Amino acid sequence: MRSIRVETSAATILLTEAPEPKVRDRQTEEIAKDAVTGETLMRLGVVYIEDGESSLIQVTIPESGVSEGLTLGGPVALPGLVARPWESVFNGQQRHGIAYRAAAVTPASFPVAAGA
């Protein structure tokens, strides 16, 4: 399916779950690897806030894209963030969702309030 670039310049993104290796298979505990580079993939949680609405999302990034200085609850940037719709059948049940992936996660700063 097609990847859709996510414009983040007007959003506030806060780190809610520290990056950890992404598990590909829960039964074998196999760690997910990038299909092209073979690099270990990491998963992290963020709250994405824009236009007065917020969403909790999980984002996948390559291990080399994890920056130093990340703080839980602190603002982060997700350069190259894309959303990819997916669907599958598991145990006869149709499932679907949106997978998010970014090139990196870096510390950011809170936006300056208007009139401050």
- Compute the radius of gyration of the chain from its Cα atoms: 15
Cα 84 from Cα 96, distance rounded (Å): 11
Q: What is the 3-state secondary structure (H, E, C) of 73-92?
A: CCEEECCCCEEEEEEEEECC
Q: Answer yes or no: is pLDDT of 38 > 90.
A: yes
pLDDT value at residue 114: 53
Q: In terms of pLDDT, which residue wins out, 29 or 41?
A: 41
Average pLDDT (83-105) is 92
Q: Are 43 and 26 in contact, with CB atoms under 8 Å apart?
A: no
pTM value is: 0.86
pLDDT value at residue 27: 84
Cα 5 from Cα 63, distance rounded (Å): 21
Q: Are 1 and 10 in contact, with CB atoms under 8 Å apart?
A: no
Q: Answer yes or no: is pLDDT of 115 > 80.
A: no
For 40-85, the pLDDT digits (tens) are: 999 999 999 999 999 999 999 999 999 999 999 999 999 999 999 9
